[in-house]
Amino acid sequence: MIRNSYPSFRQVLADNPLTRIAGAHSSLGGRIAEQSGFQAVWASSFEISAARCLPDASLLSMTDYLEAAAHIQKALSVPVVADCDTGFGNSMNVAYMVAEYESAGITAVSIEDKIFPKMNSFATADHTLLDVSAFAHKIETAKKAQRTDDFFVIARTEAMISGLGVDEALERCTAYADAGADAVLVHSKQKTKDQVLEFLGLWNDRLPVVVVPTTYPDWHADDARAAGVSAVIYANQGLRATITSLRSTFQSIYETGHTAHLEDNISGVKDVFDLQQLDEWQQLGV
């Protein structure tokens, strides 16, 4: 089969005590994540804009992010969770976003309560949040706009990112749950998981909680699950490894003047062919 079928993210979440999700910006990254065991793939705005050498600041448009997410999904038999930033504008944009992502076969999206255009959460910048009721209205609109029951909307709060703390995060997540969100994502850029743990302690499992342990990398998946987390996103490690690898590879070629020494350390052409499913395609005949 040259195109895979895949379960919805809702199904995957139901089937796994903890859903582990790897960030990607291309079909290739997504496929390798799937082959490595991940149950879903995060179509990361940060990665997708970095692949274009552009800041993660709402410069690329929904059209661009959707294209990237759809390309990734087509290569996988696990679901994509699409990082949809702020929903690309107001509630009308959110409705359009849901219609477009759902038509493209995406089964889960995440939108966050920052103001459009947003700036990446790790950047030193203004991270003013949208009024809670306005964002709740976006969630409500998203849920009304979906056509299949399966479609899954994650409400992401940037309360902790913008320095408003756990109480604000709780209040907001409660409002988003009331508005119909299917899960909440609480993002923190503290060096420890403490803020997130505090949130989990107070949240009472009202909805599944998704976390992104970029700045507290030592939080073991088992411990996150034990603390009440339903899904963990390893959002950008693949990108960061790719950068390191490309840099050392290109520098090494440039400096040594040849590639003989690389041959044993990089994938063979045959490995690329396998990722391209060349054999399956060639069996179709010409």
Outline where DSSP puts E strands in the chain: 19-24, 40-43, 80-83, 108-112, 152-157, 183-186, 209-211, 231-234
180 binds a copy of itself (CB under 8 A): no
Read off φ and ψ for residue 64, nearest 5 degrees: -70, -45
Cis peptide before 117, with omega less than 30 degrees from 0?
Answer: yes
> Taking the complex as a whole, how short is the minimal distance between the CB of residue 199 and a copy of itself, in angstroms?
19
Q: Hey, which residues does 211 pair with through a beta bridge?
A: 232
8 binds a copy of itself (CB under 8 A): no
260 binds a copy of itself (CB under 8 A): yes
> Taking the complex as a whole, how short is the minimal distance between the CB of residue 203 and a copy of itself, in angstroms?
22
Q: Is 56 a catalytic residue?
A: yes
Given phi > 0 = left and psi -120 to 50 = alpha, else beta, which region is 85?
left
Among 8, 11, 74, 227, binds a copy of itself (CB under 8 A): 74
133 binds a copy of itself (CB under 8 A): no
Whether 118 and 105 have beta carbons less than 8 Å apart is answered as no
Residue written as token pair 């399966």: 150
Which of the stretches 9-17, 23-31, 153-161, 168-176 binds a copy of itself when contact is defined by CB under 8 A? 23-31
Please report, to the nearest 10 degrees, the dihedral formed by the alpha carbons of residues 258, 261, 267, 271 taken in order: 80
Q: Which of 15, 56, 205, 274 is catalytic?
A: 56
Which of the stretches 149-157, 158-166, 180-188, 244-252 binds a copy of itself when contact is defined by CB under 8 A? 244-252
Residues in 195-234 at the binding interface with a copy of itself, rule: CB under 8 A:
213-214, 217-222, 234
User: In terms of CB distance, is 108 or 170 closer to a copy of itself?
Assistant: 108
How far is it, in rounded angstroms, from Cα 57 to Cα 113? 14
Strands 209-211 and 152-157: unpaired
Q: How many residues bind a copy of itself (CB under 8 A)?
A: 112
Residues in 138-157 at the binding interface with a copy of itself, rule: CB under 8 A:
141, 144-145, 147
User: In terms of CB distance, is 202 or 273 closer to a copy of itself?
Assistant: 273
User: In terms of CB distance, is 190 or 244 closer to a copy of itself?
Assistant: 244
> Taking the complex as a whole, how short is the minimal distance between the CB of residue 169 and a copy of itself, in angstroms?
22
User: In terms of CB distance, is 5 or 204 closer to a copy of itself?
Assistant: 5
> Taking the complex as a whole, how short is the minimal distance between the CB of residue 54 and a copy of itself, in angstroms?
6
CB burial class (10 A; 0-12, 13-18, 19+) of residue 230?
buried
Residues in 79-108 at the binding interface with a copy of itself, rule: CB under 8 A:
88-93, 95-96, 99, 103-105
CB atoms within 10 A of CB 223: 12
The tokens for 36 are 């490595």
Which of the stretches 7-15, 77-85, 157-165, 277-285 binds a copy of itself when contact is defined by CB under 8 A? 277-285
> Taking the complex as a whole, how short is the minimal distance between the CB of residue 227 and a copy of itself, in angstroms?
13
> Taking the complex as a whole, how short is the minimal distance between the CB of residue 206 and a copy of itself, in angstroms?
25
From residue 129, how far is each of 61, 117, 132 by CA, in Å? 20, 11, 8
Catalytic residues: 56
